């Protein structure tokens, strides 16, 4: 590829020649382009970045693409010119260039983290990372982990951090969480925000660009290859933990509820002043369209009795470790219990967990049986909207999520170009809020958590619990194969 006098009218990396005729490359995004770009546009840019960079290296006689693949995460390509610098050098026309007619459309998007109350003439951030909450993945777990790690990465690299929620399938970010910390500077022009290369001053990260930011070179940079235990991925865990601490603050309705619920559960485990308390074992069960890593359960689910037996084992070990017998020992047993969170309402009704406490009761997923016996609509019960003859039995399925609020004759399980209705967004928001409240209560109230590594919620729970408790003390228990904690699975 080579640069052309007339720039393409679509976002793409391009090769250009500087005033000395030397080949360089940059990323051209029309200043009039809608922000954020589409998932496919970001994916295309990432695919072409390496291609254009390799082409320019060949023109400059600087090695083959295979040599470039071995370069580190923080390698600076000497032939890449950042967008703002390319504009200064006349390699790109920029906002003031005659080739473009900039309209208000170019500044669309909804950025969080920018101080709306500050002076209008604030200086533009020198570097930034913007996380776009748009993903083809219906689940919330991967997005949360990516969001937390992106924040941690931004702080490590001293970049200002922004979140865009203008096309998030779950609705407004602030309907679920409090607004992220604000920066002391203004976000850059949107056409300067690019998904690659990593050395760009203003990065965009999303589910569509995850491999570019958190792929092979990222793992090579942050993994400790000589470690064989959980500390192998400790640097990546620390990035996620930084994001959790800064961003996982629930909205003004749900945060007080979670705090009250955690205190309530803790109070139930209290024995007496100065005495050893009972043990709370948190259990997270994921069903739906996610299946375990364990080969013997391929295409199925880990049986509930395995969760229950592990919980009993932990409670027994905790009781024995207390060293108490007699009346005090009996009190410890009576104040020990399991707390359950699951995407499948039938798990709560199972023989194994019918006596367990729900992590939270603010928002519940209803089964068909529950709806049949429901005397009156309950605003805190999340009913399936696709077809009234079905409940939420079986757990969370992507097809169910995308079809929420859609008429049954078009509920084909695929995403649609039509704007989701207000009712659809309300239902999706309830699912998201229930999910994060489950995580918050389990992660904060439990002494030990049992879960499956195949579920992203399990990995998020380890981050919420903190390294010392989850890893050093072994209170995070994975029962899905002999796997250590890891962040993203791309």
pTM for this structure? 0.91
At 99 the pLDDT is: 45
- Domain for residue 442, yes or no? yes
338 and 370 inside one domain: yes
- Domain for residue 6, yes or no? no
Sequence-separated (6 or more) residues with CB below 8 Å from residue 37: 11, 29, 45, 204
65 and 177 inside one domain: yes
Residue 272 binned pLDDT confidence (cut-offs 50, 70, 90):
confident
Residue 307 lies in domain = 271-451
* Start-to-end Cα distance in the chain: 29
- Domain for residue 257, yes or no? no
299 and 231 inside one domain: no
- Domain for residue 369, yes or no? yes
Q: Is 483 exposed, middle or buried (0-12, 13-18, 19+ CB in 10 A)?
A: middle
At 251 the pLDDT is: 98
Omega into 197 within 30° of 0, i.e. cis? yes
377 and 413 inside one domain: yes
Taking alpha carbons only, the member of 380, 387, 431 closest to residue 405 is: 387
Q: How far is CA 130 from CA 85, 110, 141, 179, 464, in A?
A: 20, 11, 19, 14, 23
239 and 320 inside one domain: no
| C-alpha–C-alpha distance, residues 415 and 40, integer Å | 14
221 and 282 inside one domain: no
Sequence-separated (6 or more) residues with CB below 8 Å from residue 415: 136, 402
Among 212, 247, 282, residue at a domain's last position: 247
Residue 145 binned pLDDT confidence (cut-offs 50, 70, 90):
very high
The predicted-structure confidence for 290-338, as pLDDT tens digits, reads as follows 999 999 998 999 999 999 999 999 999 998 888 777 788 889 899 999 9
Q: Write the DSSP assignment of 303-363 as a string of letters.
A: -HHHHHHHHHHHHHHHHHHHT--HHHHHHHHHT-EEEEEES-HHHHHSTTTTTSEES--SS
The predicted-structure confidence for 214-248, as pLDDT tens digits, reads as follows 999 999 999 999 998 889 999 999 999 999 999 99
User: Torsions phi, psi of 427, nearest 5?
Assistant: -65, -45
177 and 320 inside one domain: no
Q: What share of the chain in percent tops pLDDT 70? A: 86
78 and 175 inside one domain: yes
132 and 242 inside one domain: yes
| C-alpha–C-alpha distance, residues 42 and 448, integer Å | 40
278 and 236 inside one domain: no
Contact 302, 480 (CB under 8 A): yes
Among 214, 247, 280, residue at a domain's last position: 247
- Domain for residue 330, yes or no? yes
- Domain for residue 5, yes or no? no
Q: Which whole number is the average pLDDT over 461-479? A: 98
Among 213, 247, 281, residue at a domain's last position: 247
Supply the mean pLDDT for the chain. Answer: 88
Q: Please determine, for residue 83, whether its predicted confidence score (pLDDT) is greater than 80.
A: yes
- Domain for residue 115, yes or no? yes
| C-alpha–C-alpha distance, residues 126 and 244, integer Å | 25
At 69 the pLDDT is: 53
Element containing residue 56 per DSSP (H, E): helix 39-59
The predicted-structure confidence for 399-450, as pLDDT tens digits, reads as follows 989 988 877 655 555 555 678 999 999 999 999 999 999 999 999 999 999 9
Residue 120 binned pLDDT confidence (cut-offs 50, 70, 90):
low
Element containing residue 402 per DSSP (H, E): helix 398-403
Residue 19 binned pLDDT confidence (cut-offs 50, 70, 90):
confident
Give the count of domains, the chain: 2
Give how far the C-alpha of residue 364 lies from the chain's centroid of Cα atoms, to the nearest Å.
22
- Domain for residue 197, yes or no? yes
Taking alpha carbons only, the member of 310, 321, 294, 318 closest to residue 353 is: 310
151 and 282 inside one domain: no
166 and 292 inside one domain: no
């Amino acid at each position: 590829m080579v640069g052309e006098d007339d720039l393409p009218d679509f976002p793409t990396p391009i090769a250009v020649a500087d005033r000395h005729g030397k080949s360089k490359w940059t990323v051209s995004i029309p200043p009039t382009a809608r922000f954020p770009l589409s998932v496919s546009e970001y994916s295309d840019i990432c695919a072409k970045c390496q291609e254009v960079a390799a082409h320019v290296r060949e023109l400059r006689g600087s090695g083959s693409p295979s040599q470039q693949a071995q370069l580190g995460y923080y390698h600076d390509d000497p032939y890449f010119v950042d967008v703002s610098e390319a504009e200064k050098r006349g390699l790109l026309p920029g906002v003031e260039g005659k080739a473009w007619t900039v309209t208000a459309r170019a500044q669309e998007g909804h950025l969080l983290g920018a101080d709306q109350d500050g002076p209008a003439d604030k200086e533009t951030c020198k570097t930034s990372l913007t996380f776009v909450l748009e993903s083809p993945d219906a689940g919330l777990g991967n997005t949360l982990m990516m969001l937390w790690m992106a924040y941690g990465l931004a702080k490590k690299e001293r970049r200002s951090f922004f979140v865009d929620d203008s096309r998030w399938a779950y609705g407004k970010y602030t309907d679920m969480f409090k607004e992220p910390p604000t920066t002391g500077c203004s976000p850059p022009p949107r056409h300067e925000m690019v998904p690659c290369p990593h050395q760009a001053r203003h990065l965009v990260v999303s589910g569509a660009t995850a491999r570019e930011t958190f792929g092979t070179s990222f793992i090579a940079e942050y993994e400790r290859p000589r470690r064989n235990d959980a500390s192998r991925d400790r640097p990546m865990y620390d990035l996620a933990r930084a994001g959790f601490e800064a961003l996982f603050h629930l909205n003004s309705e749900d945060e007080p509820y979670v705090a009250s619920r955690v205190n309530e559960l803790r109070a139930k485990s209290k024995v007496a002043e100065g005495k050893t308390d009972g043990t709370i074992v948190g259990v997270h069960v994921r069903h739906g369209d996610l299946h375990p890593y364990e080969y013997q359960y391929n295409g199925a689910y880990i049986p509930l009795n395995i969760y229950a037996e592990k919980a009993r084992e932990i409670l027994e070990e905790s009781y024995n470790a207390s060293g108490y017998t007699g009346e005090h020992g009996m009190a410890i047993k009576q104040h020990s219990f399991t707390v359950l969170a699951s995407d499948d309402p039938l798990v709560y009704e199972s023989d194994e967990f019918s006596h367990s406490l729900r992590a939270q009761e603010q928002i519940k997923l209803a089964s068909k049986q529950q709806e049949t016996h429901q005397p009156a609509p309950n605003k805190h019960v999340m009913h399936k909207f696709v077809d009234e003859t079905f409940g939420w039995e079986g757990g969370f399925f992507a097809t169910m999520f995308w079809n929420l609020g859609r008429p049954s004759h078009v509920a084909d399980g695929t995403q649609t170009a039509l704007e989701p209705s207000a009712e659809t967004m309300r239902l999706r928001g309830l699912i998201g809020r229930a999910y994060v409240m489950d995580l918050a209560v389990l992660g904060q109230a439990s002494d030990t958590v049992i879960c499956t590594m195949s579920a992203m919620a399990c990995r998020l729970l380890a981050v919420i619990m903190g390294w010392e408790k989850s890893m050093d003390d072994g209170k995070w228990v994975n029962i899905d194969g002999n796997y250590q904690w890891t962040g993203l699975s791309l």
